[in-house]
Amino acid sequence: MITTLSIKNYALIEKLSIDFLQGFSIITGETGAGKSIILGALGLVLGKRADLTSLKNKEEKCIIEAHFEISKYNLKPFFEANDLDYEDDTIIRREILPSGKSRAFINDSPVNLQELQELSLYLIDIHSQQQTQELSDENVQFKIIDAIANNGETVVVYQNVLKQYKSEKSKLNSLLKKQAESYKEQEYNQFLLNELLEAKLQAGEQESLESDFEKLNNVEIIKESLDKSLAIISAESIGVLSSLNEIKAALQKIASFSPEYQSLLERVVSVLIEIDDISNELNDSTESLYSDPAQLELINQKLQLIYNLQKKHQVSTVEELLEIQNHLDNSVLELGNLGDEIEKLTVSIQNKATELDVLANTILNNRQNAIPVLSDKLISILATLGMPNVRFDIKVTPTTTYFENGKDDLQFLFAANKGTDFGLLKKVASGGEMSRIMLAVKAILAQYSKLPTLIFDEIDTGVSGEIAIRMGEIMKEMSQSMQIFAITHLPQIAAKGNAHFKVFKSTVGEDTQSELVLLNSEERIVEIAQMLSGAVVSDSALNHAKALLN
């Protein structure tokens, strides 16, 4: 339950701190006095987004802090899961800076808005007039039935499986699309792969072939040059070898006279050895050189094949062609692997569909068992709220579609009077009837919910007199198991509260402020009397107020 709310620099509130009590608390005040401001501030604490318009003084930060007594509500697992310090008296603080940025803290640990919103689901339900209209929404109706059916955990498991099911279905559709596209490309890819495989390409092959081609294609010029070189080196009287031998012999005669001559001799000997080696290689090259038109043609064909493949694949080396060959080979293998993956995914989806069907059937059975309970309780409560002939026709019908909360269609029909046909709530129920039905729903759900605090924001719209008194009694009964707040304009409801707070505006100089105070017994009598008769309080209004309070 909420025990304290402190507000600083928010809307029309400069500074406010108020303590709240257990049980049934009433909040009253004239229209525009600031009741919505209190709810707005509380909404910020619970994780709603804020902007600079929330600041009363744009130069200072806004601070809203709320204390919650949570020792009885088994919230330690939430704090552990979110790595937060647990305290029985948990403090939530929200700060809005003049820059427009906002910060949130739980027990002084900074948190994001999502964590704040998740915690708020366990703390407070603020029921507004808009929620009364949402009662006709099918999802809201399902939540009511599921709360009574105790379907909460089963629905969560179902939703987790459904999330996996949808994810795998999406993945399967992508794979099937990819497979269809791959089949279109497979034949052409296989042709390209076969073409490369038949070429029997090898790394470095192109350079070797081009070298061999140049030799065979220019064999006559090469032979002529080799023979001429060999003749110059080996001629008997004027060849290079002969001349070098003569130089060697001459230097040998004087080598012993000086290190300089010995060095020259050694250099000549070295040159002689090199020239002799060149002569041998020239001789070997000449003898191995031959004209082979057939081999030349084979080499030319292979080179042309390589050039054509390079042009087709827009590359310039055999190594790049081999990379393409490897990629095509993998893509063909990948298509086979794709089929295996599709098969495995299909089996997994079928298994999850079976699991969803089992869970959905459990949800359906629980709903069917809960519907008579809900209907009887609603009829019983509404009979005391001036609707003695109300009837409900609630049916759930299984379908083949996986919805977010099961596989059921819901028909939630209502008839307020005898002899009238059933119809949809939003079409046949008046505003006053909707308010009473929503109160009955909240009263029933309070028996199944562990929520600490429930705030009714003018749920009494469209009712008065004895019906308002009974609505107040129902809220008071609810307050025995949870903290209840009612923001109301009806004195009959206001008189039922254990505590009564008043929201009012005050003027300080040129400044208007909203304030919230706890009324004592005398102040409460006057407030209820004013709600009965207006600003001028008569004796009869005071007596009526006392009677209501008693």
Q: Are residues 125 and 163 in the same domain?
A: no
Best CA proximity match to 306, nearest among 196, 208, 212, 217 = 196
473 lies in which domain range?
1-136+448-519
Are 231 and 254 part of one and the same domain?
Answer: yes
Strand, helix or coil for residue 201: coil
Within this chain, do residues 243 and 126 fall inside the same structural domain, yes or no? Answer: no
**pLDDT at 256 (0 to 100):** 87
* Residues 528/548, Cβ–Cβ less than 8 Å: yes
In a domain, 413, yes or no: no
Residues 241 and 251 in one domain: yes
Last residue of a domain, one of 331, 363, 395: 363
Exposed e or buried b for every residue in 377-414, given b needs 16+ CB within 10 A? bbbebbebbbbeebbbebebeeeeebbebbbbebebbb
* pLDDT given at position 453: 92
Q: Do 103 and 171 share a structural domain?
A: no
66 and 150: one domain? Answer: no
- Please check whether residues 221 and 352 belong to one and the same domain: yes
Positions of the chain with pLDDT lower than 50, given as ranges: none
Question: What pLDDT sits at residue 13?
Answer: 87
Quote the pLDDT of residue 291: 66
Residue 304: its pLDDT value, please?
Answer: 84
- pLDDT at residue 366, as a whole number: 96
Residues 146 and 129 in one domain: no
Burial 194-222, CB ≥16 within 10 A → b, else e: ebbeebebeeebbeebeebbeebeeeeeb
pLDDT of residue 181: 74
Q: What single-letter amino acid sits at 4? A: T
Task: Look at residue 482 and give its three-state secondary structure.
Answer: coil
Residues 130 and 99 in one domain: yes
